Amino acid sequence: MKTADPELMRAINRFHVMDAIRRFGPVSRVELSQLTDLSPTTVSAITAALLDDKLIVPLQVGALRDLGRGRPRVMLKLNPDAARVVGVKLAADQITIAVTNFCADVLGSLALPIRIDRQTASVIADLVEDGVRRCVSDAGLEMSDISGLCVGLPGVVERAAGVCRQSPIFGERDVAFGPSLTERLGVPVTIDSDVNLVALAEHWFGQAREINDFLVVSVERSLGLGILHNGELFRGANGLGPDLGDMMVRLPGPGGGGRLADLASETAVLAEAEPLLRNYDDDATATPKRRLSLLLQRAAAGDERCVALLAAAGEALGFAIANLIALFAPPKVIISGRLLATSEHFVEPLRRSVAAFLPPSLADVADIVMREWSDGFWVRGAAAMTLRDLYGAPWGTTGPALLREAPQTGGEPL
């Protein structure tokens, strides 16, 4: 814990104000004063500083006239042009990149449907570098306009060090991807688990805006877990993001290990489904997505074995989720998976097994919802992660400090 000095004090209150402005759209100073429990005087001082730094702007007058007499409120909002950041999402078969402004509005995006799976880290870094440069220039910007970049990827990530301990998309272990990209692009780069990004996105502009504790589970090629706990992203002891795929849900048996990744990921389900699909889909080289949808079709058509297979996967995931609920007691669990999570043959068993495995004292604490995220959503989460740093949350391990003074362009002062 840092020592408390006036600077920290100001940083904390400044962050409160910024956060309130971000969350509650255009707000007046009086409202901010109520929202933050700060005195009007202090709010005035802080907003003056923020206006001075061009991080916020007063809303053009003539906007919403609040019925009533008195002096009209001046509404304040984030200055979209206060900074630009880049978000990158790495998946096995696609690189998605987006440039956003300070409000996390997407200014330009780029999707590269490339299999980066098992490529060298440096090759991937090359691809990302090129993609980012291209995306930035397509948005009519220079790299020097960019204040920061965040890369989300599946696997175990040590955010503080910028190191990816292990990921399905890297052959290597312990890849220092963050520093590598920082050097290539000349811009501060952070990396994080992809699911953390989407968890932050849900918290900032998704379904979980009001909720400070929730779990995010993504079922894709691999399994991801993001935890928001007490309003902060949860990380293990070294800032390590936990990997849901590493959770054990069965005793390792003859059929394979008991890791959840071996039971409920797309990859695992497809591997098991292979013999079942052989009759219907001779093309074993079809994309996983196609093969998965074939499996779902077969299940929907009533193929017992396909149904059982999906049910087994759902149950395994439910087992793990029940354990997580027992630990974190989150009021909400958000589950997503490009295809799997859309099938009742997967979701129903999942729900049932969560209910069955949850201790009675925790029954009904967690509301389990399914949700599909576009690539844009992930990437917006990545951008949000960088913005969060720019806002300057003074507590928690914010990771490497980004430049505080963001390059400015427009913004009209009072």
What does the binding site for DNA look like in residue numbers (CB under 7 A)? 3-7, 9-10, 13-14, 28-30, 37-42, 44-48, 61, 65, 68-74
Cβ proximity to a copy of itself, 319 vs 377, nearer residue:
319
Residue 161 three-state SS: helix
Cα separation, 89 vs 379, whole angstroms: 6
User: With binding defined as CB under 8 A, does residue 284 bind a copy of itself?
Assistant: no
CB of 412 to DNA, least distance (A): 15
Pick from 242, 337, 349, 399 the residue near a copy of itself by CB under 8 A. 242
Closest listed residue to residue 33, CA positions, set 82, 79, 78, 76? 76
Query: Which residues lie below 8 Å from residue 58, measured CB to CB, with a gap of 6+?
Result: 51, 74, 75, 76, 412, 414
**Tokens read off for 380:** 């917006």
First to last CA, the chain: 38
Residue 250 three-state SS: coil
**Tokens read off for 337:** 């998976």
User: With binding defined as CB under 8 A, does residue 67 bind a copy of itself?
Assistant: no
Pairing mode of beta strands 189-193, 146-153: parallel
Cβ proximity to DNA, 71 vs 251, nearer residue:
71
Pick from 123, 271, 329, 363 the residue near a copy of itself by CB under 8 A. 329
**Count of other CB atoms within 10 angstroms of residue 355:** 13
**Count of other CB atoms within 10 angstroms of residue 246:** 14
User: With binding defined as CB under 8 A, does residue 255 bind a copy of itself?
Assistant: no
Cα separation, 304 vs 291, whole angstroms: 17
**What is the 8-class DSSP label of residue 206?**
S
Cα separation, 261 vs 273, whole angstroms: 15
Pick from 34, 144, 207, 238 the residue near a copy of itself by CB under 8 A. 238
Residue 44 partner contact from DNA, a copy of itself, none using kind-dependent CB cut-offs of 5 to 8 Å: DNA
Cβ proximity to DNA, 41 vs 120, nearer residue:
41
CB of 170 to DNA, least distance (A): 42
CB distance 294 to 302 below 8 Å: no
CB of 238 to a copy of itself, least distance (A): 6
CB of 163 to a copy of itself, least distance (A): 11
Cα separation, 233 vs 17, whole angstroms: 20
User: With binding defined as CB under 8 A, does residue 259 bind a copy of itself?
Assistant: yes
Residue 1 partner contact from a copy of itself, DNA, none using kind-dependent CB cut-offs of 5 to 8 Å: a copy of itself
C-alpha neighbours within 13 Å on the C-beta side of residue 308: 5
Cα separation, 402 vs 411, whole angstroms: 22
From 92-100, 230-238, 279-287, 292-300, span contacting a copy of itself (CB under 8 A)? 230-238
Residue 395 partner contact from a copy of itself, DNA, none using kind-dependent CB cut-offs of 5 to 8 Å: a copy of itself
User: With binding defined as CB under 8 A, does residue 330 bind a copy of itself?
Assistant: yes
User: With binding defined as CB under 8 A, does residue 30 bind a copy of itself?
Assistant: no
User: With binding defined as CB under 8 A, does residue 171 bind a copy of itself?
Assistant: no
Rg (CA), the chain: 23
CB distance 372 to 208 below 8 Å: no
Pick from 115, 209, 271, 395 the residue near a copy of itself by CB under 8 A. 395
Residue 70 partner contact from a copy of itself, DNA, none using kind-dependent CB cut-offs of 5 to 8 Å: DNA
Judged by the rule CB under 8 A, the positions of this chain that interact with a copy of itself are 1-6, 8-10, 12-13, 16, 36-38, 156, 165-166, 173, 212-213, 229-231, 236-238, 240, 242-243, 246-248, 250-252, 258-259, 319, 322-323, 326-331, 356-357, 359-362, 365, 395
